[in-house]
Structure 1
Amino acid sequence: MQYRNNFNSTMLDKELFSAIVKEKEERGYYNLPFKDTTAFKEYAATVKQNNVVVIGIGGSTLGTYAIYQFLKHSKELTKELFFLETTDPIDIQSKMKNIDVEDTLFIVISKSGTTLETVALFKYVNSLVKCDKHNTVVITENDSKLNTYAQANGMKMFEIPKNVGGRFSVLSAVGLLPLAIVGIDIDTLLRGAKNVHDSFFEESDLEQNDDSLSIKKRVLKKARFFAEYKNSFNINVVFSYSSRLEGFNKWYIQLWGESLGKLDINSTHQGLTPVGIIGPVDQHSFLQLIIEGRRDKTVTFIKVNDFHCDLSVPDITLKGLEELDYINNIKFSSLINEQADATIEAICSLNDIPCDVMNIDDISEYSIAGLMYEYELLTSLTAKLLQINCYNQPGVESGKKILKEKLLKGQ
């Protein structure tokens, strides 16, 4: 008897890890932690303007914004960073009226070089100030039309490698250049990501049966759970206990949604729905849905161990509110983490909501880069198990084609 099949069985951890090691040879984001930062730092040292405006959308801005928002109130940055990323006319006007365009460096970012929103915004900026080699730099693919434009106008260009997708590009020139210009330590950023890279790709710990979870084992375990329980728990909530992580939440939503909402190799619709919320604010809204709503959600809590801030609740009594004096003298950093722990305990006690807790050390370049790189790995691993292409976005492209046809017809 002869037998052939095309059944696609679930990969073992060893097979999954081997598949990622092989993919690492083709997909450039895996190796970005090893990138030479010299060119970015040298260019950053030449920038005289006090304002930096990034013009881009999606993967061209979200990762950079996530890191900048996380760090900007804890670092003594040398310049202010702004983002033009929407065609909302009120947003455009409200941002630009507060920026001195004569004291601004514009960074135009588009991997393809023809992103409609980015070009439209760049056209608007050109109507306000002459954009030239003295105040404009371009980040794009080497053979894009945007690079052709930059060369024709003598503008500095930094390359986005073709094998680095936009939503995985934060540790390329896309993020490193603007962050270096405003004074963020990009070498420490890369060290944080490299630590996660090295911990994941080491060969030694897959066969160990100890209870402690290395980065490799915890990411593999989490990806497998998401894939195996995709029909039961298809909503994945990131509950970040720091307002500094709001930008990270937005980045995660794009990374997760655009990477995993795909047709698999059998043309079956796949997808996991990302939700990003902030504690303690959303304890007073979305938490109710988690606790008593349908059991279709996983929850990942992200806590910050050290906020590097000693702000405390004042030791004062408010008439009529004396019963709350037990919070006096408590550091706000302790209070927010106690609120997180109470919420975690409330959810864990129910025993039917899958959840995990990630503690990042502090508000630093090292911590945020490690967190983001781990989420990139998690996304790639989950995609492998779902048997989808993690790196394309045909659903997005179809909308772009329709828009172009409509605009051309309108002309």
Structure 2
Amino acid sequence: MKYEKSFYQIKSNAQIFEKIVEEKETIGYYNLPYQDTTEIKEFAKTVKQKDIVVVGIGGSSLGTYAIHQFLLERENSKKLHFLESTDPVDLHWRLKKIDLDHALFIIISKSGSTVETISILKYLHSITTIDNTNTVCVTENDSKLNAFAKANDMKTFEIAKNVGGRFSVFSPVGLLPLAIMGLDIDKILEGCKKVSESFFDKSEYYDTIMEKARFIVENKNRFNINVVFSYSSLLDGFNKWYVQLWGESLGKVNINGTKQGLTPIGIIGPVDQHSFLQLVMEGKRDKTITFIKIDDFKDDMTIPDITIPHLEELDYLNNIKFKDLINMQADSTIEAIKNLKDIPYDIITIKQQNEYNIGKLMFTYELLTSIVGSFVQINTYDQPGVEAGKIILKNKLSIKK
């Protein structure tokens, strides 16, 4: 007797762990924490330009922006700019902030033929000099962008073929501009290593990540919206990176033809306490919430001990540090959610605003994404839905031409 099936069952944690161990042999991002960063750091030391311009979109810029925003005060005197949108108003606005004659352009495209990136490169080529003195390319070693760079004797850094764009922040895609900005990229990778080694040794991070992934998958039909509620504007870039990572990786058709998808939403506290929180508190119970707090902002800005006429009743705010206020706001929201007893939530507390901790946070989410993808039995690393739109666009542009 022969038995076949076209449906899938949720596998055990042990089976999923073995699959992730197998993936480690072929999916490149798992090994990025262990790379040699010497070439990147040595090149970064040679950069004299003050305006550093990342030309890339999606996975070629979101991760870099997330880390850059989180670590703003730790950078050097250079300014980091991002050119990613083909919105002409946005492009003009951003270009006005750049001294084009004294800028370094970092052109990032894994495929080497990203429409948005090459369109912006073409425009830059028409308004300023683009040559080996001011341009670096980050791409696959056999792409057309790499051929362009080599033909013009430009410095290049390789994106390995087995490192997907949205998982590429810890490759030269992110490490190159971050090193130029004076950040300690080795500390970033140390944070990644901590999570990786703990997970693959089945210690602290294994239990935390596996438990969360399993809950999300077992309850995906009831709670199919995953909200990251970050209590700091420093994490706004992380939220945007998470939305791409989660949405583009997990919105797929699985092995038995069932459409999968967990909708990511990133919001910022306390701002969104005055908007989205109402929906969470009294709206449909279809959301999980992850609160992210920063334990110590290392900033002692304090509400002054003054009385404003007609606002005397609010003098209880006097002498409170803003870092304490925002964490009290976070704790109050968490307590309100906890008291409802019907909204799944968890809390991530970042000890300090530094390279090590942002590396830990982002690598944790990469691992979590891979594990959830393995549980629902999809290809976490492709994006056929996105490719369909790209093909249509290229056809439209060809007809127009």
TM-score, with length taken from structure 2:
0.99
How far does the alpha carbon of each residue in 1:271-330 deviate from its partner, in whole angstroms, 9 at most, with x for none?
000000000000000000000000000000000001010111111111111111111111
Q: Answer yes or no: is 1:364 the counterpart of 2:351.
A: no
Counterpart CA distance in 2 for 1:319 and 1:20 is 62
Q: How far apart are residue 215 of structure 1 and its match?
A: 1.4
In the alignment, residue 150 of structure 2 is paired with which amino acid?
Answer: Q
Give the 5 Å matches for 1:149-228: 149-203=148-202, 205=203, 214-228=204-218
Provide the residue aligned with 2:105 in structure 1: 106
Counterpart CA distance in 2 for 1:30 and 1:4 is 33
Q: Answer yes or no: is 1:251 the counterpart of 2:232.
A: no
Percent identity, please.
Answer: 61
Counterpart CA distance in 2 for 1:235 and 1:393 is 20
User: Does structure 1 conserve the Cα–Cα contact (< 8 Å) formed by 2:6 and 2:256?
Assistant: no
Provide the residue aligned with 1:120 in structure 2: 119
SS in structure 2 of the partner of residue 106 of structure 1: strand
How far does the alpha carbon of each residue in 1:189-231 deviate from its partner, in whole angstroms, 9 at most, with x for none?
111111111111104x4xxxxxxxx211111011111111111
Give the 5 Å matches for 1:294-313: 294-313=284-303
User: What is the count of residue pairs matched by the alignment?
Assistant: 401
Give the 5 Å matches for 1:382-401: 382-401=372-391
Give the 5 Å matches for 1:18-29: 18-29=18-29
TM-score, with length taken from structure 1:
0.96
Counterpart CA distance in 2 for 1:284 and 1:338 is 16
Give the 5 Å matches for 1:232-381: 232-381=222-371
In the alignment, residue 376 of structure 1 is paired with which amino acid?
Answer: E
Q: How far apart are residue 10 of structure 1 and its match?
A: 1.5
Provide the residue aligned with 2:136 in structure 1: 137
Q: Answer yes or no: is 1:52 the counterpart of 2:42.
A: no
Counterpart CA distance in 2 for 1:59 and 1:2 is 45
The runs of 5 or more residues in structure 2 that have no matched partner are none
In the alignment, residue 245 of structure 2 is paired with which amino acid?
Answer: L
Provide the residue aligned with 2:11 in structure 1: 11
Counterpart CA distance in 2 for 1:75 and 1:142 is 32
In the alignment, residue 47 of structure 1 is paired with which amino acid?
Answer: V
Change (3 A) 1:2 1:88: closer
Provide the residue aligned with 2:219 in structure 1: 229
Counterpart CA distance in 1 for 2:346 and 2:3 is 43
In the alignment, residue 71 of structure 2 is paired with which amino acid?
Answer: L
Cα RMSD after superposing both structures: 1.0
In the alignment, residue 48 of structure 1 is paired with which amino acid?
Answer: K
SS in structure 1 of the partner of residue 104 of structure 2: strand
Counterpart CA distance in 2 for 1:292 and 1:6 is 39
Counterpart CA distance in 2 for 1:103 and 1:333 is 38
Provide the residue aligned with 1:208 in structure 2: none
In the alignment, residue 141 of structure 2 is paired with which amino acid?
Answer: N
Counterpart CA distance in 2 for 1:7 and 1:259 is 21
